[in-house]
């Protein structure tokens, strides 16, 4: 009698254990099936009104309409976007907190000796690369060079001290200038600014002869004849300015671009990542979104999460080597 009771008790315990394990196993699937079940927040590590913020808002509006849920844009500024990144990494991995990232956040900042060593590639999952843009190499009109080759020749002559402005010491803009010196075999003095606008003002004012800047900040001035553009930093000509040569036409290995994408916290269920990826790709395919990106000087990318992961990994390695070689620290 006692043994039969023990058998039944063991059977009940075993049954409960099986149910518990089944529920645990089904939890990720349940999260995925219920997504989205509440408002989605897109965290942006930059100030309201900037390009990343503007992109998040137009993208969030379209995502909200397609997913039939409200999408909130939350700006958490500071530490080159790392405040927002850390907040996103701590969020529940259920797809309802999305981080907007720039290429600098995932491929430059992790290598800086003065950073907090927070590496997004280990804390977050790539979802999709939204859009990219090159940088433009601009020169003052009085610089006696009208091409990259002529600039390199000028630099090698050492008849004048060349300097270039950038948006900051640990930005893609600065790395572009360092790469040009490396491949061209000449030297320039780097002048860091707090953003592109300040460097453009000094270029116009004659304080610096060269700069690397975003197309939207530089191209209108070139069109107005106030400055000239010597090249673009993408590996091929920029679709929005096809008449400007790529620097890679002089140095085939030259390539540095800026991009903005989305990431989700590590351990977010794969179906949730796939849903967000699919919906963003759908938005990027619309004429409205592509026209907006054109005005921002950006080109839609899209694609699978693995595509974005490979882009990050490639740039992480290449830029890390350059950061270490130059001894670049934080700002």
Q: What is the pLDDT of residues 32-79, one digit of tens each?
A: 558 999 999 999 999 888 889 999 999 999 999 999 999 999 999 988
Residue spans in the chain of domains classed CATH 3.40.190.10: 136-249
Mean pLDDT across 112-136 = 86
Phi and psi at residue 129, to the nearest 5°: -90, 115
> What band does 13 get if pLDDT is binned at 50, 70 and 90?
very low
Q: What pLDDT does 2 receive? A: 46
Secondary structure (3-state) at 210: strand
Mean pLDDT across 227-249 = 96
> What band does 312 get if pLDDT is binned at 50, 70 and 90?
very high
Cα separation, 221 vs 226, whole angstroms: 5
DSSP string, 227-274: EEEEEESSSS--TTSTTSPBGGGTSTT---EEEEEEEEETT--HHHHH
Mean pLDDT across 229-246 = 95
Residue spans in the chain of domains classed CATH 3.40.190.150: 35-133+257-326
| 278: CB partners within 8 A, 6+ apart | none
Token pair, residue 98, equals 């999305």
Domain 35-133+257-326 adopts which CATH fold?
D-Maltodextrin-Binding Protein; domain 2 (3.40.190)
pLDDT digits (tens, 9 = 90+) for 204-229: 999 999 999 999 999 999 999 999 99
Q: What pLDDT does 179 receive? A: 95
pTM: 0.84
Q: Say if residue 36 is preceded by a cis peptide, omega within 30 of 0.
A: yes
Q: What pLDDT does 122 receive? A: 85
Give 220-224 contacts, CB < 8 A, sequence gap 24+.
Answer: 221/138, 222/138
Q: Name the percent of the chain lying above pLDDT 90.
A: 75
- Among residues 286, 280, 268, the alpha carbon closest in space to that of 307 is found at 280
* pLDDT: which is higher, 165 or 5: 165
Cα separation, 169 vs 58, whole angstroms: 30
Give strand pairing partners of 264.
125
Cα separation, 134 vs 212, whole angstroms: 10
DSSP string, 114-138: TS----HHHHEEEEEEEEEEE-EEE
Secondary structure (3-state) at 189: strand
CA angle 285, 286, 292 (to 5 degrees): 110
* pLDDT: which is higher, 6 or 47: 47
Q: What pLDDT does 295 receive? A: 92
- Please give the order of strands across the beta sheet that includes 97-102: 71-75, 40-44, 97-102, 257-265, 124-134, 299-300
Lowest mean pLDDT among 109-118, 123-132, 319-328: 109-118
* pLDDT: which is higher, 14 or 234: 234
Average pLDDT over the chain, rounded to whole? Answer: 89
Flag whether pLDDT at 25 surpasses 50. no
* pLDDT: which is higher, 1 or 325: 325
Tell me yes or no: is domain 136-249 CATH 3.40.190.10.
yes
Highest mean pLDDT of the ranges 29-33, 103-107, 271-275:
271-275
End-to-end CA distance of the chain: 77
> What band does 260 get if pLDDT is binned at 50, 70 and 90?
very high
**Contact by Cβ (8 Å): 28, 272:** no
> What band does 18 get if pLDDT is binned at 50, 70 and 90?
very low
Helix locations, 92-230, DSSP H: 103-107, 120-123, 148-157, 172-184, 196-205, 215-223
Give strand pairing partners of 190.
164
């Amino acid at each position: 009698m006692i043994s039969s009771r023990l058998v039944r008790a063991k059977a009940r315990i075993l049954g409960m254990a099986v149910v518990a394990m089944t529920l645990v196993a089904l939890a990720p699937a349940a999260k995925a099936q219920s997504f989205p079940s509440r408002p989605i927040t897109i965290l942006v590590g930059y100030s309201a009104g900037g390009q990343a913020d503007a992109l998040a808002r137009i993208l969030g509006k379209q995502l909200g309409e397609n997913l039939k849920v409200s999408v909130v844009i939350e700006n958490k500024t500071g530490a080159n976007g790392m405040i927002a990144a850390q907040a996103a990494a701590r969020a529940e991995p259920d797809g309802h907190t999305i981080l907007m990232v720039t290429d600098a956040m995932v491929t430059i900042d992790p290598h800086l000796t003065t950073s907090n060593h927070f590496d997004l590639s280990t804390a977050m999952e790539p979802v999709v690369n939204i859009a990219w843009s090159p940088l433009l190499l601009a020169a003052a009109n009085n610089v006696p060079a009208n091409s990259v080759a002529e600039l390199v020749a000028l630099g090698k002559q050492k008849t004048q001290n060349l300097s270039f402005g950038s948006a900051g010491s640990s930005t893609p803009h600065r790395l572009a200038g360092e790469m040009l010196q490396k491949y061209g075999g000449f030297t320039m003095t780097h002048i860091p600014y707090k953003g592109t606008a300040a460097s453009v003002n000094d270029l116009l004012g004659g304080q610096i002869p060269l700069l690397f800047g975003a197309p939207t900040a530089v191209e209108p001035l070139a069109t107005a004849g106030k400055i000239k553009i010597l090249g673009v930093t993408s590996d091929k000509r920029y679709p929005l300015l096809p008449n400007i040569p790529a620097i890679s036409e002089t140095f085939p290995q030259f390539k540095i671009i800026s991009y903005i994408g989305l990431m989700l916290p590590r351990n977010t269920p794969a179906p949730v990542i796939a849903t967000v990826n699919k919906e963003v790709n759908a938005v990027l395919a619309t004429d409205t979104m592509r026209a907006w990106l054109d005005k921002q000087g950006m080109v839609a990318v899209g694609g699978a999460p693995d595509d974005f992961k490979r882009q990050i990994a490639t740039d992480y390695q290449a830029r890390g080597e350059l950061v270490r070689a130059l001894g670049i620290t934080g700002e």
